[in-house]
Amino acid sequence: MGSTERIWVEAEVYNNGEDSFESALYIHVPQGLSYVTADALDTRKDVLIRCSPSSPSTNNTVTCEIGNPLPAFAKAKVRVYFQTRDGKELKRSYEFLVTVNSTNPEEPMRTGDNIERVVMPITVKTELKVFGSTDPQPVSYNVSTYRGVTKVNESHIGPRVTHTYEVKCLGPSSIEEASIVILWPSFTAEGKPHFIIF
Contacts made by residues 105-109, CB under 8 angstroms, sequence distance 24+: 106/17
Domain definitions of the chain by residue range: 7-121, 126-197
Distance CA 185, CA 141 (A): 12
Task: Please list the residues that pair with 172 across neighbouring strands.
Answer: 126
In this prediction, residue 89 carries a pLDDT of 59
Please compute the mean of the pLDDT values over residues 99-122 and round it to a whole number: 86
Instruction: Assess whether pLDDT exceeds 70 at residue 96.
Output: yes
> How does DSSP classify residue 187?
E
Please compute the mean of the pLDDT values over residues 174-179 and round it to a whole number: 76
Mean pLDDT of the chain: 82
Higher pLDDT, 154 or 8: 8
CB within 8 Å of 4: residues ≥ 6 apart: 172
Distance CA 43, CA 76 (A): 5
Instruction: Assess whether pLDDT exceeds 70 at residue 104.
Output: yes
* Residue 188 binned pLDDT confidence (cut-offs 50, 70, 90): low
Tell me the pTM.
0.64
DSSP per-residue letters across 128-159:
EEEEEEEESSS----GGGGTT----SGGGT--
Please state which of the four CATH numbers 1.10.3720.10, 3.40.30.10, 2.60.40.1510, 3.40.1180.10 is assigned to the domain occupying 7-121: 2.60.40.1510
Q: How many CB atoms lie within 10 A of CB 111?
A: 12
* Residue 197 binned pLDDT confidence (cut-offs 50, 70, 90): low
Distance CA 66, CA 97 (A): 18
DSSP per-residue letters across 13-72:
EE--SS-BSS-EEEEEPPTTEEEEEEEEES--TTS-EEEE---GGGTSEEEEEE-SSB-T
Instruction: Assess whether pLDDT exceeds 90 at residue 38.
Output: yes
Kindly compute the dihedral angle of the four CA atoms of residues 181, 186, 188, 194, in this order, to the nearest 10 degrees. Answer: 20
Cβ proximity of 100 and 25 under 8 Å: yes
